[in-house]
Amino acid sequence: MDEETLKKYIRAGKIAAEALEYGRGLVKPGLKVLDCAEKIEAKIVSLGGIPAFPVNISFDETAAHYTPAPNDPLLFDRQVVKLDVGVHVGGCVGGDTAATIDLSGKYTDLVKASREALEAALKVVQIGTPLGKIGKEIEDTIQSFGFKPVRNLSGHGIGEFMIHGEPSIPNYDTEDETPLEEGMTIAIEPFASTGVGLIQDKGLPQIHSIIANKPVRNIGTRQILKKIDTYEGLPFATRWLAKDFPLFKVQFALRELNQLETLHSYPPLVERTPNSFISQAEHSVYVGDKVIVMTKL
């Protein structure tokens, strides 16, 4: 990677870190979840970045992939809240970072478990580190708190207009000997759970991305697709489109694109164990002679 490109990643990382820090202040009982998401996304833009995906605000047993619906009335109350923020600068997705805010006051250790797992993982990150070793650090740390890592969620490579690429960074000891390579940009994101440590799709998706290009006949859908093209293949929210188009048209278009299999929609990811709680922590890292944690303030 050339110097100029690396600078863009680092800038995106810094903006994501600042936006997350700003977002923490908006997670308060009685405040609107929708406002929180929109204000964080506006903050990213005001800092010179572009959201690499809709701000995820996931509650309690939901690990990820919840973002408010258009006109979502939901308020913060006493939930365990995960804020996950993504930023790119000129396509370089250098900022994918998350934190957990426990509004219940009952899950301090759970929050600590994922945060310390992330710190333990970052300590072993360098050129040559086997992926399984990162997973082992995460698993050992989370288990030492008496919780389970979420095994079917993992960290991931981040790249140009790409949020989920290779390599996959496990959250448990897979014994994968594949080494980290020089020049990799990765996001590490441990999830700690009070449940079994497995998530499944549940609920209505509010996040989508284009996965193929096919001709579309309907003129309304074509107009909406034009807007979707400006996201450059990165994930977007139903509510983003509902700003420019009537909601019923947006829903029609999303349905049509789903049927054509040009669109993938991402439902919330929810713990299989009922009434459980999940925490998350995440940083984006550049692996070089010097390891740079790009989303640390």
Residue numbers of the site for Co ion (CB under 5 A)? 96, 187, 189
- The closest alpha carbon to 163, from 232, 66, 261, belongs to 232
Question: Which residue has 């810094």 as its token pair?
Answer: 14
Please count the other Cβ atoms lying within 10 Å of the Cβ belonging to residue 179. 16
- The closest alpha carbon to 183, from 127, 123, 144, belongs to 127
Minimum CB distance to Co ion, residue 38 (Å): 21
Q: State the catalytic residue, choosing from 35, 164, 176, 264.
A: 164
Task: Please identify, using beta-carbon distances, which residue of 60 and 189 lies nearer to Co ion.
Answer: 189
**Distance between CA atoms of residues 74 and 68, nearest Å:** 8
User: What percentage of the chain's residues is helix, strand, coil (to nearest 5)?
Assistant: 30, 30, 40
**Distance between CA atoms of residues 61 and 279, nearest Å:** 9
Task: Please identify, using beta-carbon distances, which residue of 16 and 250 lies nearer to Co ion.
Answer: 16
| 3-class DSSP assignment, residue 289 | coil
156 catalytic? Reply is yes
Minimum CB distance to Co ion, residue 146 (Å): 25
Minimum CB distance to Co ion, residue 211 (Å): 18
Q: State the catalytic residue, choosing from 102, 116, 189, 271.
A: 189
**Distance between CA atoms of residues 235 and 143, nearest Å:** 32
189 catalytic? Reply is yes
Task: Please identify, using beta-carbon distances, which residue of 260 and 292 lies nearer to Co ion.
Answer: 292
**Distance between CA atoms of residues 244 and 262, nearest Å:** 21
Task: Please identify, using beta-carbon distances, which residue of 81 and 253 lies nearer to Co ion.
Answer: 81
84 catalytic? Reply is yes
164 catalytic? Reply is yes
Q: State the catalytic residue, choosing from 18, 60, 61, 84.
A: 84
Minimum CB distance to Co ion, residue 71 (Å): 27
208 catalytic? Reply is no
Catalytic residues: 84, 96, 156, 164, 189, 282
